[in-house]
Amino acid sequence: MDTDPATPADSDERPDDPGSDRSLEDAYDALLDRCRRWNAVSSASGVLSWDQQVMMPEGGTPARSKQLSALSSLEHDLLTAEETGDLLEEIDERSGDHAADRSDDRGETLSAEQAAVVREIRRPYERADAVPRDLVEEISEASSEALSVWERARADDDFDAFAPHLERLVELKREYAEHVDPDRDPYAVLFEAYEPCLPIERAEAILEELRGTLVPLIDAIRESDVDLAVDTFEGTFPEERQEDLAREALDLLGYDFERGRLDVSAHPFTAGNQFDCRITTRFDESDPLSAVGSTIHEFGHARYTHGLPREHFGTPLGDSRDLSVHESQSRLFENHVGRSRAFWERFLPTFREHFPDASDATVEDAYEAVNQVHPDNRIRVEADELTYHLHVLVRFEIERDLVRGDLDVADVPERWNEGYEEYLGIRPENDAEGCLQDVHWSHGNFGYFPTYSLGSVMAAQLYAAAEAEIDAGEGPDLDARVAAGDFEALHEWLHENVHRHGARYETDELVRRATGEPLSAAAFTDYVESKYGELYDVSP
């Protein structure tokens, strides 16, 4: 039976007393009840955060900061309560190797799914238990305040206004990492909050491999004589029509509006759970393809969230694996579907209906336009599929050095500009299009950026496996299905191999089960070298 997200199960019927003579199953159920309670608080915080970025009047920030801070500390208290630790210890003693040491051993063991749940509860418990409640509350309040300051600073091109808030958040997150593990690299500790299953060294190695592939490929494209067709999509495209087009794209892909909604925000994002998952996008009247791409990207996030098991809401089995896997779903739809010829065979007639001035556009025009490489583009969320990862690399190196104490906040703008010049051959004209363009640091989300590239790598590996399996089956191949607007086979493959598992498997195991191989950059590098080699007539 599905768990109602508005009324998480009450654990009062089972006393959380490790000394009670209950079974392992009862102890496990008591832990699960506690997990549902703190996840309900987290879910409520998510709705308030969504509202702050989408609907809340600007003057609401002082109250919202206090509200989010209170919920953050409540979630922390529920997670780190003595009862949680006692239950984890009791389960540990009653199961596995420890059970053999008990004279009253009843032969109790956890199932594989139950063991995964305990593992996933233990990880955040041990991290949260090491951090004082006051610090958690201070971080929440500081990030809420920083968000509104960042929005104004970005609009005014005023890094100095945001700098004190960024400095405070860096200091607070360093303190957080120190509490979690004082003997380790603080950035590695923070990275684990977003990708707990892959070590930072593995992430750095993948980023290095991407740089080794992409920099020479982009240089070759820059020198290529090929001129892709893009002028067909130049002009003015009213925001109202773009929003209608975005909704049609979501309908085509299969977004469930009964469990979600589409809104506009300064920075597109997705938030929610399997019962209520909302997406936002943004519009540029001179660039309708950007809004289509960002909307499809957020659809991928939402499809994953909507596909998580409803019966396990509020538990690790009903939660996403981590941000790398989440990003793989958005990048899979944005790039492997939304930037394909097959997709535009189906979607271009819809585009023309909304924008008759583009009635002469061909499928090849659309395909070339959405895949044009723009080394001179300074905005990450508007970046092409290749240069995007160099944008990520600049941010990763800056935030890593900030957290490690190797870079001062005051030096961020110049370091940012130097990074763009080194990797992309350009310098931002101002801080608004430079170091102020992303929302993540205003949330204190240091360690988040590498998951974007890790997700893109994973997306290529998953899509290649899905395509091979679907093409080998009965019926049309995957390209033919996409061209016909039929996404059912792809949705089914992703649900079977990714979505339905929640957080049962760790990242490498999930990817291995889906594709037969652990996470690797090989599928991604093969994909981009083949696709862009053909588009720009260049060799890898």
Q: Give the pLDDT confidence score for residue 20 in this predicted structure.
A: 56
Q: What does the alpha-carbon distance between residue 130 and residue 137 come to, in Å, rounded to a whole number? A: 14
Enter the tokens of residue 240.
Answer: 């109202």
**CB 490, CB 479: distance < 8 Å:** no
**CB 405, CB 460: distance < 8 Å:** no
Q: What does the alpha-carbon distance between residue 347 and residue 249 come to, in Å, rounded to a whole number? A: 8
| Active-site option among 75, 90, 151, 298 | 298
Q: Give the pLDDT confidence score for residue 9 in this predicted structure.
A: 39
Helix/strand/coil (H/E/C) assignment for every residue in 81-129: CHHHHHHHHHHHHHCHHHHHHCCCCCCCCCCHHHHHHHHHHHHHHHHHH
**What does residue 533 show for φ and ψ, rounded to 5 degrees?**
-65, -40
CA neighbor of 275 nearest in space, from 311, 300, 299: 311
CA neighbor of 242 nearest in space, from 316, 350, 338: 350
465 CB-near residues (< 8 Å, 6+ apart): 497, 514, 515, 516
Q: Kindly report, residue by residue over 387-425, the tens digit of the pLDDT.
A: 999 999 999 999 999 999 999 999 999 999 999 999 998
**CB 37, CB 77: distance < 8 Å:** no
Burial class (CB in 10 A: 0-12, 13-18, 19+), 399: buried
Residues annotated as binding site for Zn(2+)? 297, 301, 327
Q: Give the pLDDT confidence score for residue 387 in this predicted structure.
A: 96
Domain ranges of the chain: 200-536
Q: Kindly report, residue by residue over 191-223, the tens digit of the pLDDT.
A: 999 999 999 999 999 999 999 999 999 999 999
The SS3 call for residue 277 is strand
Residue numbers in the chain where pLDDT is lower than 50: 1-16, 18, 97-104
Q: Give the pLDDT confidence score for residue 99 in this predicted structure.
A: 47
> In the annotation, is 298 catalytic?
yes
CA neighbor of 294 nearest in space, from 207, 414, 381, 176: 381
CATH number for the domain running over 200-536: 1.10.1370.30
Q: What does the alpha-carbon distance between residue 95 and residue 117 come to, in Å, rounded to a whole number? A: 14
Q: Give the pLDDT confidence score for residue 112 in this predicted structure.
A: 95
Q: Kindly report, residue by residue over 101-157, the tens digit of the pLDDT.
A: 444 455 579 999 999 999 999 999 999 999 998 998 899 899 989 999 999 999 999
**CB 329, CB 498: distance < 8 Å:** yes
Q: What does the alpha-carbon distance between residue 528 and residue 408 come to, in Å, rounded to a whole number? A: 36
Q: What is the pTM of this model?
A: 0.89
| Count, residues in the chain | 540
